[in-house]
């Protein structure tokens, strides 16, 4: 598929995702209506407002200068001043970045993973996962403006940056899925007019080795760095460098895919059940990386890297859904509270997914080359001697 054919569905999906997030942010006003609390309850209203506010042009009270000290707006002219203009600029950057990042990744995915027969489900899942990544990157890029709009941009900047990046992820799970469905439907129309798309021939042994190497990279974060003593050491990193001091929260968010400790004080059965989610994540990543080279029209390093990021995000979603299903506290606190962690870990999935995809691509190329060389040097048996 050419870039021109892939760009049309990517643009359609990008516009839809941006419009949905804007509509979600504008819906915060509906939660302030008198009947909202009576219909869905006070805790649910507060939870939804917390999810939707990062995409709203109406700044929360916590983002207003003086809010932490007085609990309200410091001056009556704040909404018309420079701080509000900076907040609005930050939101404009956020929505523009969502569109740009989604289109960039969707073009690559639709071109290398076109939604033809045998690839449609894979394309849908990959574009859905990339929608979460695009939203996370957009929040990251726009975070400095929103932090500065609160009037305290020089105080614990990296810790505040980590807090802003982790916000607004829950609504991305739903909006990115809708945008992915529309993108794939539009891509199917674009693919119908193109020529045949034969699958890539990949040696089985090379594909398995590449998937194992890529999964090992993900396991480095999930098993080694996420172990409680190591994670605590990462969290406590705090060089005294002024504005960039206290990077522990930020490093933890971009390096750790989970958090776990030994079964001390916990029944072994419960501990193993909780660790089953991590096993599921690694299984999803390995299976996706094993299938990915054969699904791609060409297993290039960028395509494998983006595909590995999407596979890691999908593994995170699968593990989070399993934890939701096995966690008994969700039945007591409700569905919204149970879904609060959904969509987390995307920054670390982006970091390690890129490394895992690049490592898998290099391994695939080296192992595939050795396989072809071995086949070429193998003696050819004379059929007459058979």
**pLDDT at position 196 over 60:** no
The pLDDT of residue 28 is: 84
**pLDDT at position 349 over 90:** yes
- For 227, the 3-state DSSP assignment is strand
Among the ranges 62-71, 217-226, 376-385, which has the highest mean pLDDT value? 217-226
Give the Cα-Cα-Cα angle 19, 51, 159 (nearest 5 degrees).
110
As a dihedral over the C-alpha atoms of residue 61, residue 65, residue 70, residue 71, rounded to 10 degrees, the angle is: 10
State residue 299 phi and psi, 5-degree precision. -85, 70
> Residues 360, 208: contact at Cβ < 8 Å?
no
**Alpha-carbon span 244 to 348, nearest angstrom:** 20
Confidence bin at 8 (pLDDT 50/70/90): very high
**pLDDT at position 74 over 50:** no
**pLDDT at position 378 over 70:** no
Confidence bin at 248 (pLDDT 50/70/90): confident
The pLDDT of residue 61 is: 59
Maximum distance among all alpha carbons in the chain? 96
**Alpha-carbon span 366 to 373, nearest angstrom:** 11
> Residues 285, 315: contact at Cβ < 8 Å?
yes
State residue 258 phi and psi, 5-degree precision. -170, -160
**pLDDT at position 382 over 50:** no
Confidence bin at 200 (pLDDT 50/70/90): low
């Amino acid at each position: 598929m050419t870039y021109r054919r892939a760009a049309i569905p990517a643009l359609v999906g990008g516009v839809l995702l941006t419009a949905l997030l804007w509509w979600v942010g504008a819906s915060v006003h509906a939660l302030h209506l008198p009947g909202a609390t009576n219909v869905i309850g006070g805790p649910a209203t507060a939870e939804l407002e917390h999810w939707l506010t990062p995409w709203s042009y109406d700044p929360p009270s916590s983002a207003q200068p003086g809010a932490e000290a007085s609990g309200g707006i410091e001056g009556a002219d704040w909404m018309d001043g420079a701080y509000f203009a900076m907040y609005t600029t930050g939101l404009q950057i956020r929505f523009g970045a969502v569109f740009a990042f989604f289109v960039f990744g969707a073009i690559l995915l639709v071109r290398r993973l076109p939604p033809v027969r045998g690839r449609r489900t894979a394309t849908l899942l990959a574009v859905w996962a990339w929608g979460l990544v695009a939203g996370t990157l957009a929040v990251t890029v726009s975070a400095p403006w929103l932090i500065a709009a609160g009037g305290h941009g020089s105080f614990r900047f990296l810790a505040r940056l980590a807090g802003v990046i982790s916000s607004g992820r829950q609504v991305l799970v739903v909006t990115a899925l809708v945008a992915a469905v529309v993108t794939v439907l539009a891509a199917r129309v674009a693919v119908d007019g193109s020529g045949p798309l034969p699958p890539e021939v990949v040696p089985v042994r090379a594909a398995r080795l590449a998937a194992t190497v890529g999964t090992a990279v993900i396991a480095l974060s999930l098993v080694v760095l996420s172990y409680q003593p190591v994670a605590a050491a990462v969290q406590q990193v705090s060089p005294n460098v002024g504005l960039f001091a206290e990077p522990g929260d930020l490093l933890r968010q971009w390096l750790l895919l989970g958090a776990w400790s030994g079964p001390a004080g916990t029944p072994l059965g419960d501990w193993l059940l909780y660790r089953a989610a991590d096993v599921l994540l690694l299984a999803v990543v390995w299976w996706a990386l094993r299938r990915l080279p054969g699904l791609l029209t060409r297993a290039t390093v960028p395509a494998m890297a983006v595909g590995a990021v999407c596979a890691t995000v999908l593994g995170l979603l699968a593990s989070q859904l399993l934890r939701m299903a096995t966690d008994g506290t969700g039945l007591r606190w409700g569905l919204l509270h149970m879904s609060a962690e959904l969509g987390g870990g995307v920054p670390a999935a982006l970091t390690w997914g890129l490394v895992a995809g690049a490592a898998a691509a290099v391994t695939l190329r080296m192992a595939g080359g050795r396989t072809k060389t071995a086949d070429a040097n193998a003696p050819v048996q004379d059929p007459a001697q058979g």
